[in-house]
Structure 1
């Protein structure tokens, strides 16, 4: 057993970059002395120190698992099969403080230019030699701690500094202070192992405007398994709503006059038993709603259940092999768990967003040239759902809200006429109620029914979906969600009003 565990540690070390080793050193700075950590340059040295302090062993590898999850190296955890060394993991006390995680997540959200600006702000506070060019933000944090400028209960200097560099990120710090010192500490749950610290996620750093960024920060997504959802009042649209006009002479519309609207494929992944992940309770509600709405819109709807990674791509290749010359557009809805690169098949293997979209490129399907290819993805874009923590719920609220943890690092292809409507912004989870379906897909279906008959274009409808989902919350008022469409559409997508009544009320 000991030999096998040492082999696992060796493989972890070989998989870590130098920066990742230093990230681990920072996260462990409350567990080991600064003198010991100052000499660490490799994973092997760090693991040896942790073993000497009885913080890591073949009987309990929970600390290493905790570190890897914080650093979002879940693929490494899956590949190395830690199960044999985690007998005590389900009851293990988390060792990395929420404060240390906050600083790490802040550093992950800061770009190189932000780091230069932070160093400039500190030039009269820290010695110039401490601000040398290659010093990372985490190293700066350690120096600030030495100078008593930063501590778990002293974040004012950091907050003031971040506010001038990254105003949206300041709200992260405010939220942390509220949670940890305002009498409310948020916990989370995943399907793997346990930990009780809050998951303070990294912030999206590439959004269209500061205003949008601050809105997204307000709409935090922490994780699943919390409280019941408050009454949603977002669908009370009246005639005075400032909805976009259907006619806009400056922007052309895609033609929607074909003999048939097109094909809508729905990939509905529910049972992830083979992939070692929880079943997606409530996803069939989304599937049924999507089927009804897109049939109402005139689409031929094809549903595929529980697709592994190979089958998911094959479904789209089969779609690309069809003759779409008489169709106006094509739609693909994917309901699944997600990961850092894309979405999971039920076998636990990843299909990247780029792979999904490329299957319908004009090179693969010439009959879709210049026609809109619309993708609606229900999956998280962050991995915090996979972090192991103890669960905290409100009385009577168990098992009502869950999430589908993912982040597409690769954007949509450069080819024109694509829409990728994601259920959440990068680095955040999205929510699914077991008895009602997901916030995003249910709002999408509701707004398609409400606004298509009024002649509203699809991007404006998705804007209303953003507004509706952003108003949803759990009873604590802290768990929020913000969808995000990405597109290379060259015209407006306006579906002809169906002649039949809406399928859902």
Structure 2
């Protein structure tokens, strides 16, 4: 089989031009030393170096496939996987090429010759003239800038400044990358995009279905490496894998007469408002790819629960507050409750409008206070917030072994005491704890919203109260992680509810679309 693999490498070598070989060298510059790369003049030499360092082999050709994918050599990939090397069938793409290097490579393709000459001119006083010779490519220029410590994964400021007037679209992409990667010192907060891989097999298990559910509904396990791994692939879940009811640790407490329930017997359940912010071109925050998937899922689930759903798209700070004031001005007398879902970027103190301006959590929920909306007095006001609350990545914690009766201690100081006004009948369910990011996958939506919708659909028909459902959401999301297994997310519900929220089971028990 080694001979077969060498035939594959030879075919690739013969198919690539000299410029494409240099593209390979650039993409692999994090995997091999610059000293080794200086001697590379052909794809064969590069492949030999990678094989010597056990980064490429017949047993694991994933790096080769990843390189060809990045270079958009799709026809070559198809030929290799179908004709020459059958073992590549089913091989998943690895993520050995850094998102930073992919960014530079992909952006270099959008730079024309005149732009390149302008970049070289602006670097005349920074790099030697020899390095700025006419035949130097942009990728070679990037490597020279890296050698001079003018460019790096966390050092894009010089490039951004140079490129600002030459190619604004490239500058915008650099800003978006810095946002998504939480560059140290950056002020903008963004959500992660990409595929997420479960930390363990337990993250693949699902709750026992209340009916036969569509396969797409069950695909809550996302498969991603940190921010810039290609985003639309997802591992299929085994729809037959279940957890025994007792493992949910959720007991149906509808017979508990000590804790009252809010009445849910009105003519209608109430209004369900969804504020869906995608387009952030008016500020430095990146567009929220994948948010429409969350929006559509929320619409389906809350209509199923009996809500009259209202959707507002791309609201700035003023519009967010005005939409909520308009909601407060409605007559909620025949309604049981109200729901407000906000999908946006965020910071520790609140959510961002598409203009980058903050609406604090206090401002958000005080719009529906009894003083502003008397018809909602003593009725539950339920807020579900999908947004970052900081720019830190939450690391995985590896607990020490302890006795079964020993409680693990967690800090209660993370949330300011004024994060919820001192008024009754509120729930503020947030996708993450303060100071940390939330995760979103371009092709599958966010961890929090998808888990929320999934759990509502499964547990409402069983009579499970909302806080118990959110506890299950906490459990589900806490088991998800990035490809490294080190980045985590922990949702956080806060509430001043005085009774249990139990939605009546929908009249139709048929699976949602």
**Contact 1:341/1:408 (CA < 8 Å) preserved in 2?**
no
Aligned-partner Cα distance in 2 for 1:194–1:326? 46
2:251 is matched with: 244
In the alignment, the residues of structure 2 paired with residue 323 and residue 457 of structure 1 have an alpha-carbon distance, to the nearest angstrom, of: 26
Instruction: Give the RMSD, CA atoms, in angstroms.
Output: 3.4
- State TM-score, norm by structure 1: 0.52
Aligned match for 1:380, one of 388, 396, 402:
388
- For residue 290 of structure 1, the aligned residue among 286, 298, 301 is 298
Q: C-alpha displacement at 1:476, in angstroms?
A: 1.2
- Give me the whole-angstrom Cα distance separating, in 2, the residues matched to 1:190 and 1:274: 17
Q: Which aligned runs of 4 or more in structure 1 are off by greater than 4 angstroms?
A: 92-95, 192-198, 226-235, 407-410
User: Are the structure 2 counterparts of residues 434 and 354 from structure 1 closer, same or farther at C-alpha, using a change threshold of 3 Å?
Assistant: same
Task: Indicate the residue corresponding to 2:482 in structure 1.
Answer: 474
Give the aligned length: 287
Could you tell me how far 1:472 is from its partner in structure 2?
A: 1.0
Alignment check: 8 A CA contact 2:182 2:392 kept = no
1:101 equivalent in structure 2: none
Alpha carbons 1:266, 1:302 under 8 Å: kept? yes
Confirm whether residue 271 of structure 1 aligns to residue 274 of structure 2. Answer: no
Which sections of structure 1, spanning at least 5 residues, go unmatched?
Answer: 1-58, 61-87, 96-187, 202-221, 386-406
Greater C-alpha Rg: 2
Contact 1:89–1:193 (CA under 8 A) maintained in structure 2:
no
CA distance in 2, matches of 1:237, 1:342: 36
Q: What is the CA–CA distance in structure 2 between the aligned matches of 1:192 and 1:501, rounded to whole Å?
A: 40
SS at match of 2:467: helix
Matched, 1:429 2:489: no
**How far is the alpha carbon of 1:473 from its aligned partner?**
1.4
Q: SS at the partner of 1:316?
A: helix
Q: Report the alpha carbon displacement of residue 226 of structure 1 after superposing the two structures with TM.
A: 5.4
- Correspondences of 1:124-273 after superposition (within 5 Å): 190-191=178-179, 224-225=227-228, 236-241=242-247, 242-247=249-254, 248-273=256-281
Cα shift readout 1:82-129 (whole Å, capped 9, x = no counterpart): xxxxxx99825759xxxxxxxxxxxxxxxxxxxxxxxxxxxxxxxxxx
Question: Displacement of 1:250 after TM fit?
Answer: 1.2
Question: Relative to structure 1, is the Cα distance of residues 236 and 481 closer, same or farther in structure 2, using a 3 angstrom cutoff?
Answer: farther
Give the superposition deviation at 1:321: 0.3
Partner of 1:438: 446
Report the TM-score, using the length of structure 2 for normalisation: 0.51
**Is residue 495 of structure 2 the alignment partner of residue 487 of structure 1?**
yes
Q: Secondary structure at the match of 2:289?
A: coil
Residues 283 and 438 in structure 1, CA contact (< 8 A), matched pair in contact too: yes
- CA positional deviation for 1:276: 1.9
Q: Which moved more, 1:475-484 or 1:301-310?
A: 475-484
Give the CA deviation at 1:191. 2.6
CA gap of 1:89–1:253, structure 2 versus 1, over 3 A, is farther
How many angstroms does 1:445 deviate by?
A: 0.2
| Inter-partner Cα distance in structure 1 for 2:181 and 2:253 | 51
Distance in structure 1 (CA, Å) of the matches to 2:349 and 2:261: 32
Corresponding residue number in structure 1 for 2:79: none
Paired residue secondary structure (1:304):
strand
The CA distance in 2 between the partners of 1:471 and 1:90, in whole Å, is 39
CA deviations on 1:364-395 (whole Å, 9 max, x unpaired) are 0001110000000000111248xxxxxxxxxx
Q: 1:232 to 1:461 in 2, by over 3 A?
A: farther
In the superposition, relative to structure 1, how do residues 460 and 90 fare at CA in structure 2: closer, same or farther (>3 Å)?
farther
- Per the alignment, do residues 428 and 93 of structure 1 end up closer, same or farther by CA in structure 2, a change over 3 Å counting? closer
Q: Whole-Å Cα distance in 2 between the matches of residues 378 and 363 of structure 1? A: 27
User: Does the 8 A contact of 1:230 with 1:472 survive in 2?
Assistant: no
- Please list every run of 5 or more consecutive structure 2 residues that lacks an aligned counterpart in the other structure: 1-124, 127-147, 156-175, 190-224, 394-413
**C-alpha distance in 1, partners of 2:312/2:285?**
19
Does the 8 A contact of 1:452 with 1:496 survive in 2? Answer: yes
Q: Distance in 2 between matches of 1:249 and 1:194?
A: 48
**Offset of 1:256 from its aligned partner?**
0.2
1:339 has 2:327 as partner:
no
Cα distance, 1:446–1:192 mapped onto 2, change above 3 Å: closer
Question: CA contact under 8 A between 1:94 and 1:197: conserved in structure 2?
Answer: no
Kept in 2: contact 1:253–1:492 (CA 8 A): yes
Q: Check conservation: 2:348, 2:434, Cα contact below 8 A.
A: no
Q: For each residue in 1:229-261, what CA deviation from the matched residue of structure 2 results, as whole angstroms up to 9, or x when unmatched?
A: 777789834333332223211100000000000
